Structure 1
């Protein structure tokens, strides 16, 4: 037999002993090491030539001693004693079965058993043993990395476990680890602000437990990235939310958690987006400025990525994302203003470029869903916090941008986009109580030739103006599109005028709209349109007559501050009567016949 063949057989013999040891899940003992050394001595006596070859070319094979024995092989052996009791497993983890490679099916380290986990949990809860906590954290790390294709990690003490043990470890750690850590660190049982952790980080106790806290948060983050079931991810995030205060001490982990939560918030399904948002909101409340900027920027970016395309099914999800962003602003309105100002300024610069260059590429950047949905987002923010000092200054530049977008391309094909802009302006005006000239935008639409011609394209399909920004040329000639546009214009004009139906200047505000509505009623040959327009004219004129009668009896001047309270007493009296279900006097009934005033009063 040659030297190389002898060397291969010797290595195979050595590897075979290791494999046999791995199958029994026991470490190599001192006797086995001694036996291997004696084998090498016999080889030196029987075949000195081969021994000299090994000594020259493969010293590692000869340098084997008792120091290679795993010193941690018998650690925690006493934890295996105790009674075994079957526990009910949480249903969220029943379906999680880690993928184990063929290499991992042959364990080479100590297997974790149910008895060991029960013993650790009992020692932690009853006796508060730090040794048991560290052992449980090692097992938790093994569970979180179970099935990873990274090969055997020699730094870990355990390597195998059953699905029952996996469920027991995950549920115990995620459900109770926050309370255990708070108890060891003598923190409040729930809640807390970042100042508590910052003060704790200066103590000796933190130096003893910081690696345990970091191990818990880091391994939980790892398994979050590996999970695919939305219910399991939601359960894990809900439990980790209670420990989010500890992320103050680990800025790198904090950024990774924010990134993962933002991903689940923007792309998740079911209850996962809600759970992810609550996690981010709780993180911002507890950590404050440490994560507010990153969360605001990340959520806005995720919102923009999700609103590039809109259809009937996705519209609801986009509205939910926008409501989440607006709700997060409530945490700190001053910081929210700084970000909102920058993002609205970006929209203004895009619009300015389109107005200056007048190119198709510049127009396309404005007339796309991403841009319009961003306007919808900031409109919602201004409407939600219009009464707040921080965000109210944004109403004017936002209204200017929306008006510019509505007038950018004044063609009939962009009627849906213009109607969306007008709705946003009506919402802003109602929230801040400031007049915005919307009626001219609406009346210009009625005078376009596409709405005054007979429909030559047939009846056509029903048009959902909420999910489109631009219509095709054949659609312009259909009866369905004309009806949708005219009725939407009448509705939005009624909403605009009803906001000021109690104003002392309602007669002046409504004069030009009434004149142009009469002109459209005479020019159109569609009886349905004529009927709707005439009804709106009657309502506006009746409301103007009522406000004029009330205005003739007042004694203040137009520049008097009391003007703003015009008809407030009358409105309050009517609301009081309605609240107590008392009969309404006749003086009110004549005015209540007009839907414009009626709609305003019911809202008030």
Structure 2
């Protein structure tokens, strides 16, 4: 099957253009064999210059049979046009629009898809079709409103647009790899190829550098312009295997990183995952770009955490965990930034505690600071689970202690009842660190301090005026206004959250041999709260907790009395801790029942939030912004 591609001009006369797969004039033809003869002549006439070439550009002198075959297969003229592309007996005609640009039709799009999907069958024409496909893809990107300059081709039909975009995203990466021919480690050594550590080397990189660069730029612009989720996912999937090419173009790669970070911090979960995979791959290949990726991701996370909306926690959790993974791609480099950022948090906290001014306190009592603490807690948790032994990982792991001090200090900066939600967030962070980092933190005593604020809130009678609920979960706020504090529903939510954190703190230390000693000073605090609290429901809630704590403490005491305790015997102590951590203990049973009930309430809350008029109003407002 023969295919000829020509262009039709209504008035202008076409100039003679050499065929893409045709032959050049004999005096202009350069084959690998003739090139080898020229090098032999240089070696005979000027041996010193030949030695210089061997040292500085060994790739120029390395030839083997595969070079000759590849040259015969795909060696065409550098500046080629699609006026006489021959692949069989068919002829494809280009119409020319008023701007003298070639209009890509459906027949051309089908040809591109056919060749790109089976590159081994059309190897002699692969280079020409790849160039045609890249220029057509460039035209597609210009069509969606990109800042790219208009090229030689234009795409007008939707079917042609879809076909070209689909073919390029699906097959172009494989075709470019086939043309570039990546070298393995042995070939790199034999050719003395110079490249950064982790950066791939391609045999024919300089030959196809221009067309590859054009496609990579168009792909970055396409990602920046497209808003549809399915198309964005397809673009990111095609970018992941192309990261080896992007590494050779630092400026383009930085633009790509900016777009990927934007997707990672703002788009849907599936898009975020794809963007993270691409960022992770780039970070593993280039140390300089890793620094740029790491700082960009941190800035994007901080920017997106200015305000927490309903349903944002899942995305924030993904960002925290993926950022923690990025931290340990190169811990020796990331440690410098982790140390500086945590130190900045400590400085802001110190200033707030010293000055006590409202404007300074607001610099730490806000969502950005709280979610930043969550972020670094996830990094510390990841450091404790890191399998590889590394000095840099140990450096990062040691930073958990100043982080714990920052969180405890944040609780005590401005301890008022209005900021109970923020203080509860801090206790949750401490519990995460205590469980995953295997460190003891007095979370029980810290939580017990919140009972005084609960008493203060319950002193005033609740207001019967209904408050427009901006959220049905206390987790979505860090500060309560006066109306919320006076509303009976919010009071119940506060009491349940304090109770839940108190119970979880007790559950975390249930296996400790010193559980009875930990609980003993808290029992009078609970009794005092039950006595002074004016809310009957809150009294019942914490009375049940007091009973379970006493019951578990008694069981723990009896278990220890039945065994001989030797603090130097680690195995015996471990067995005792296993007995105390059993699911049949009073605290464990009570915690599981409460946890099950809380999950049912959360599911009901989500259904209520979907029907909430305030949330629906916000959703419509966001939709309008997206449309505009």
Post-superposition offset of 1:321: 2.9
**1:480 counterpart = 2:475:** no
**1:453 counterpart = 2:453:** no
Match of 1:409 in 2: 414
Q: State the SS of the aligned residue for 1:200.
A: coil
CA distance in structure 2 between the partners assigned to 1:330 and 1:151 by the alignment: 37
Q: State the SS of the aligned residue for 1:366.
A: coil
Post-superposition offset of 1:161: 5.4
> CA 1:81–1:113 in structure 2 vs 1: closer, same or farther (change >3 Å)?
farther
Q: Mean alpha-carbon deviation: is it higher for 542-551 or for 460-469?
A: 460-469
Q: State the SS of the aligned residue for 1:106.
A: coil
User: In the alignment, which of 114, 122, 127 is matched to residue 122 of structure 2?
Assistant: 127
Q: With the length of structure 1 as denominator, give the TM-score of the two structures.
A: 0.73
Post-superposition offset of 1:404: 0.6
What's the Cα RMSD here? 3.7
Post-superposition offset of 1:433: 2.3
The within-5 A match list for 1:48-447 is 76-79=83-86, 82-83=89-90, 106-119=98-111, 122=115, 125-129=120-124, 130-146=127-143, 156-159=151-154, 162-187=157-182, 198=199, 200=201, 203=203, 205-269=204-268, 271-285=270-284, 287-388=285-386, 390=394, 391-447=396-452
Post-superposition offset of 1:407: 0.7
Match of 2:531 in 1: 522
User: In the alignment, which of 7, 10, 13 is matched to residue 28 of structure 1?
Assistant: 13
Q: With the length of structure 2 as denominator, give the TM-score of the two structures.
A: 0.70
> CA 1:158–1:424 in structure 2 vs 1: closer, same or farther (change >3 Å)?
closer
Post-superposition offset of 1:409: 0.6
CA distance in structure 2 between the partners assigned to 1:569 and 1:488 by the alignment: 29
Q: State the SS of the aligned residue for 1:145.
A: helix
Q: Assess if the C-alpha contact under 8 Å between 1:83 and 1:115 holds in 2.
A: no
User: In the alignment, which of 503, 511, 514 is matched to residue 512 of structure 2?
Assistant: 503
Q: 1:108-137 deviations in whole A, cap 9, x for unaligned? A: 244434444555654954232334433443
Q: Assess if the C-alpha contact under 8 Å between 2:233 and 2:271 holds in 1.
A: yes
Match of 2:27 in 1: none
CA distance in structure 2 between the partners assigned to 1:150 and 1:306 by the alignment: 26
- Count of aligned pairs: 499
Q: Assess if the C-alpha contact under 8 Å between 1:350 and 1:366 holds in 2.
A: yes
Q: Assess if the C-alpha contact under 8 Å between 1:539 and 1:596 holds in 2.
A: no
Larger radius of gyration: 1
Q: State the SS of the aligned residue for 2:399.
A: helix
Q: State the SS of the aligned residue for 1:178.
A: helix
Post-superposition offset of 1:238: 1.1
Post-superposition offset of 1:277: 2.5
Match of 2:52 in 1: none
Match of 2:548 in 1: 539
Match of 1:491 in 2: 500
Post-superposition offset of 1:498: 1.9
CA distance in structure 2 between the partners assigned to 1:425 and 1:272 by the alignment: 31
Q: 1:395-447 deviations in whole A, cap 9, x for unaligned? A: 21111111111111111111111111111111211112222112333222222
For structure 2, list consecutive stretches of 5 or more residues without a partner in the other structure.
Answer: 1-6, 17-78, 189-194, 387-392, 596-628
For structure 1, list consecutive stretches of 5 or more residues without a partner in the other structure.
Answer: 1-21, 32-71, 86-103, 576-591
CA distance in structure 1 between the partners assigned to 2:370 and 2:176 by the alignment: 47
